[in-house]
């Protein structure tokens, strides 16, 4: 979790200062500020259905899948987790609850759990983006990393092919 109450307000303030410094040093600082603002506004909603809708919007923004199919959204979102299959199932449950609310106006009885689950799955991405663990230069580039295959051998093969292509382009390109 981003906040651990047992560490108190001093630790929260240190974390806030660290986050502000981190954001300032990012190439995508404006996008990150907007993302954090959207995240805090979502969690500040008293209507938990609205909270889930807003958190889902952030999920789509982080994965760069706004208006795309949900399978790609869940695939990308699960990329940073060890148990990707379980995370995809959790995201599918969130999506179903979100759609129930959007399309029928029905409120889920477990909306507090759905909202917490969405937050739980977003938090690691926010930390990765704040620390810039992947050394990306934009949210769109982060999403492209999340879109990569989940198989190490395939990634190594792609790396080999891209290196070969770069050598050929350097030797024969304009």
pLDDT of residue 152 exceeding 70, the answer is yes
156 located within any domain: no
**Number of domains the chain contains:** 1
pTM above 0.85, yes or no: yes
CA dist 73 and 61 (Å) reads 10
Domain hosting 88: range is 5-148
Concatenating the DSSP letter of every residue in 105-139 gives: -PPPTTHHHHHHHHHHHHHHHHHHHHHTTT--SSH
The confidence score (pLDDT) of residue 10 equals 85
For the beta carbon of residue 163, count every other beta carbon within 10 angstroms.
10
DSSP 8-state assignment for residue 44: T
Q: pLDDT tens across 10-39, in order?
A: 888 898 899 999 999 999 999 999 999 999
Domain membership of residue 170 (yes or no) is: no
The count of residues in the chain is: 174
In a domain, residue 163? The reply is: no
Q: Return the number of other C-beta atoms located less than 10 Å from residue 68's C-beta.
A: 12
Answer whether residue 98 is part of any domain.
yes
């Amino acid at each position: 979790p981003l906040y651990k109450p047992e560490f108190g307000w001093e630790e929260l303030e240190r974390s806030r200062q660290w986050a502000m410094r981190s954001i300032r040093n990012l190439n995508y600082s404006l996008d990150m500020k907007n993302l954090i603002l959207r995240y805090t506004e979502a969690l500040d909603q008293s209507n938990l259905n609205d909270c889930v809708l807003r958190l889902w919007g952030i999920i789509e923004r982080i994965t760069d899948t706004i208006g795309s199919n949900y399978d790609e959204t869940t695939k990308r979102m699960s990329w940073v987790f060890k148990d990707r299959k379980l995370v995809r199932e959790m995201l599918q449950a969130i999506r179903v609850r979100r759609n129930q609310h959007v399309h029928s106006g029905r409120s889920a009885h477990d909306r507090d759990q759905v909202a917490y689950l969405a937050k739980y799955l977003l938090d690691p991405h926010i930390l990765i983006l704040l620390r810039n663990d992947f050394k990306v230069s934009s949210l769109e580039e982060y999403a492209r990393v999340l879109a990569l295959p989940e198989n190490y051998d395939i990634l190594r093969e792609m790396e080999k092919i891209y290196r070969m292509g770069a050598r050929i382009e350097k030797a024969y390109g304009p």
